[in-house]
C-alpha cells in the first residue's frame, strides 16, 4: 500500500468550505448595498423630474397666464421623465390642478421604484416651492398634495399600465 504523504500540497474540505462561506457573505452584503444605492438613485431621479416638470409648468403659466388644465396643455409643457426610475406597480406619476384666480395651485407627484410606500411631490400650493417626501398610497395622494375636490387631474402612469402621451 501507498503511504500518504502528509506534506502534499492542497486544501482540506473544511478550508474550502470556509472560503466559500466568506465569499457568499461578501456577495450578500454587496447585493444589499447595491439595492440601497439603486433605490436612492431612483428617488433622486424622480425628485429631479418633479423639479423640472414644475419649472416647465411655471413657464407655461408665465406664457399663457394659466396652469395646464387638460391633457393637451400637459403635452404643450413638453416634459420628459426618467421612466425607468418610477414604480410601475402603482400610480407612479400624477399632475393635478385646483382652484381659480388667486387660489390657483398645482402639484405633481411621483413614486420612485423601490421606494415602498414613500413618494415625492412638488406642490406650489404647499408654499414650500420644493420637492417634498410623502408616505402614502396613490388613493391618498390628491388630498395630501392639496388637490382634492374640483379641478383637473391626470395620472401620467396609472392603473392602465401605460404612460400617457403628456408624460413622454
Mean pLDDT of the chain: 76
Per-residue pLDDT reduced to its tens digit, 69-116: 888 998 999 888 888 888 887 677 888 887 765 567 777 878 888 776
- 25 domain-assigned: no
| Number of domains into which the chain is organized | 1
The whole domain housing 112 covers 33-167
Q: Is 104 helix (H, G, I), strand (E, B) or coil?
A: coil
Strands 118-123 and 105-110: antiparallel
Q: In this structure, is residue 51 part of a structural domain?
A: yes
Name the more confident of 157 and 138: 157
Q: What is the pLDDT of residue 127?
A: 46
Does residue 135 carry a pLDDT above 60?
A: no
Q: pLDDT (tens digit, 9 = 90+) per residue, 36-72? A: 788 888 888 888 888 888 889 888 988 998 888 888 9
Residue 7 lies in a domain: no
CA dist 51 and 120 (Å) reads: 10
Q: Is 27 within the bounds of a domain?
A: no
Amino acid at each position: 500500500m501507498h503511504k500518504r504523504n502528509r506534506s502534499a500540497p492542497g486544501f482540506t474540505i473544511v478550508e474550502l468550505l470556509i472560503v466559500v462561506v466568506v465569499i457568499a457573505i461578501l456577495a450578500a452584503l454587496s447585493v444589499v448595498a447595491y439595492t440601497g444605492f439603486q433605490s436612492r438613485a431612483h428617488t433622486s431621479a424622480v425628485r429631479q423630474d418633479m423639479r423640472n416638470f414644475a419649472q416647465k409648468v411655471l413657464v407655461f403659466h408665465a406664457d399663457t397666464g394659466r396652469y395646464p388644465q387638460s391633457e393637451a396643455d400637459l403635452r404643450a409643457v413638453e416634459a420628459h421623465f426618467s421612466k425607468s426610475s418610477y414604480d410601475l406597480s402603482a400610480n407612479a406619476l400624477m399632475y393635478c390642478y385646483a382652484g381659480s384666480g388667486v387660489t390657483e395651485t398645482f402639484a405633481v407627484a411621483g413614486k420612485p421604484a423601490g421606494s415602498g410606500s414613500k413618494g415625492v411631490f412638488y406642490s406650489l400650493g404647499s408654499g414650500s416651492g420644493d420637492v417634498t417626501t410623502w408616505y402614502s398610497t396613490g388613493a391618498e395622494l390628491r388630498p395630501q398634495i392639496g388637490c382634492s375636490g374640483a379641478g383637473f387631474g391626470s395620472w401620467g402612469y396609472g392603473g392602465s399600465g401605460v404612460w400617457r402621451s403628456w408624460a413622454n
